[in-house]
């Protein structure tokens, strides 16, 4: 299998409380119907690409729980339960534990600090861990130790001030090619990679997901879609208007392996 060839995914349905998820801004509130419709389209896209998708039930006490990639990471070698940086999300990892234990022979858990899966970018050579508003240095070091136990090399990098997550501002488009916002590209985090810069005004389009030759990308980012197509990949535009209002994007809505 190639690096981008996934066969399975785990998602969680949005809870009724999803509209109360974490929000950095003071813009209009999201629509619950809109969030559900966007999540349904996301799951349908994963299935069209060929993934076997396991859909977990909603957790109404946890508004952000549909963003399953923040409390856990999965690899062919095993899974890691994380310690989300937002206090309201800290219990979500334990709620994923039974599901992951059924699917992975090795299951590790962070024991200190804070670390969100949104700050983890996996590349063929190593795993990049970004220190951000949600991942502190202690959590990044603890995660690096856990990744070392499953044979993964790591590099801890600093994200620009105000960055929510490393993958809010970057994504892997090729085995040696990263799409990044201007600020993250200038940080030096991805030295040695071909760095593609997000088109002006489409910085949020950096949060995308490549699966095989397909790339899930926000439908609003037309020039980013053109950039993807220009590299011989197949863009899969998805509406993320409502989900973006709760500080989220495409990468955080599934665990893929």
Domains and CATH numbers, the chain: 8-256 (3.75.10.10)
CA nearest neighbour of 255 among 83, 110, 71, 101 = 71
Q: According to the model, what pLDDT value does residue 125 have?
A: 96
pLDDT above 90 coverage of the chain, percent: 95
Query: 236 - beta bridge partners?
Result: 216
Predicted confidence (pLDDT) at residue 92 exceeds the cutoff of 90: yes
Predicted confidence (pLDDT) at residue 158 exceeds the cutoff of 90: yes
- What distance in Å separates the CA atoms of residue 44 and residue 59, rounded to the nearest whole number? 21
Q: According to the model, what pLDDT value does residue 67 have?
A: 98
Could you report how far apart the first and last alpha carbons of the chain are, in Å? 11
Residues of 154-172 as b/e, b for ≥16 C-beta within 10 angstroms? bbbbbbbeebbbbbbbbbb
- What distance in Å separates the CA atoms of residue 216 and residue 231, rounded to the nearest whole number? 14
What does each C-alpha distance from 42 to 31, 38, 60, 185 come to in angstroms? 16, 6, 20, 28
What pLDDT digit, counting tens, does each position of 168-227 carry? 999 999 999 999 999 999 999 999 999 999 999 999 999 999 999 999 999 999 999 999
**Mean pLDDT, the chain, whole residue set:** 97
Q: According to the model, what pLDDT value does residue 26 have?
A: 78
Residue with tokens 């980012």: 221
Give all strands (DSSP E) within the chain, no chain letters: 8-12, 52-56, 72-75, 78-81, 107-109, 120-122, 127-131, 154-158, 170-174, 177-180, 194-197, 209-211, 214-218, 234-238, 255-256
Predicted confidence (pLDDT) at residue 25 exceeds the cutoff of 80: no
Q: According to the model, what pLDDT value does residue 173 have?
A: 98
Q: According to the model, what pLDDT value does residue 162 have?
A: 86
DSSP letter at 193 equals S
Residues of 2-21 as b/e, b for ≥16 C-beta within 10 angstroms? eebebeebbbbbbbebbbbb
pTM of this structure: 0.96
Q: According to the model, what pLDDT value does residue 150 have?
A: 97
Q: According to the model, what pLDDT value does residue 1 have?
A: 81
What pLDDT digit, counting tens, does each position of 45-74 carry? 999 999 999 999 999 999 999 999 999 999
Q: According to the model, what pLDDT value does residue 253 have?
A: 98
Q: According to the model, what pLDDT value does residue 12 have?
A: 98
Which residues are CB-contacts of 102 (< 8 A; sequence separation ≥ 6)? none
Q: According to the model, what pLDDT value does residue 27 have?
A: 80
Q: Hey, which residues are catalytic here?
A: 165, 252
- The first and second tokens of residue 189, run together, are 């985090």
Q: According to the model, what pLDDT value does residue 24 have?
A: 81
Confidence category of residue 139, pLDDT binned at 50, 70, 90: very high
Q: Report residue 217: phi and psi, to 5°.
A: -145, 150
Predicted confidence (pLDDT) at residue 2 exceeds the cutoff of 90: yes
Q: According to the model, what pLDDT value does residue 209 have?
A: 98
- What distance in Å separates the CA atoms of residue 166 and residue 160, rounded to the nearest whole number? 9
């Amino acid at each position: 299998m190639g690096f981008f060839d996934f066969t399975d995914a785990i998602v969680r349905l949005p809870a009724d409380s999803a509209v109360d998820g974490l929000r950095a801004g003071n813009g209009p509130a999201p629509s619950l119907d809109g969030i559900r419709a966007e999540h349904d389209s996301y799951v349908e896209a994963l299935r069209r690409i060929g993934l076997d998708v396991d859909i977990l039930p909603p957790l109404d006490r946890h508004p952000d729980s549909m963003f399953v990639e923040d409390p856990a990471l999965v690899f062919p070698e095993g899974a890691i339960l994380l310690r989300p940086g937002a206090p309201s999300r800290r219990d979500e990892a334990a709620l994923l534990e039974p599901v992951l234990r059924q699917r992975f022979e090795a299951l590790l858990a962070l024991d200190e600090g804070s670390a969100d899966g949104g700050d983890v970018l996996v590349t063929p050579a190593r795993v990049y861990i970004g220190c951000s508003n949600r991942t502190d240095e202690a959590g990044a070091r603890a995660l690096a130790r856990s990744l070392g136990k499953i044979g993964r090399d790591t590099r801890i990098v600093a994200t620009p001030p105000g960055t929510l997550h490393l993958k809010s501002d970057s994504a892997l488009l090729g085995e040696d090619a990263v799409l990044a916002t201007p600020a993250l590209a200038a940080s030096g985090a991805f030295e040695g990679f071909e760095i593609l810069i997000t088109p002006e005004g489409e910085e949020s389009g950096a949060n995308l997901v490549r699966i095989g030759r397909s790339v899930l990308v926000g439908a609003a980012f037309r020039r980013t879609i053109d950039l993807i197509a220009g590299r011989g990949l197949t863009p899969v535009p998805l509406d993320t208007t409502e989900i973006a209002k709760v500080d989220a994007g495409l990468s955080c809505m599934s665990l893929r392996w």
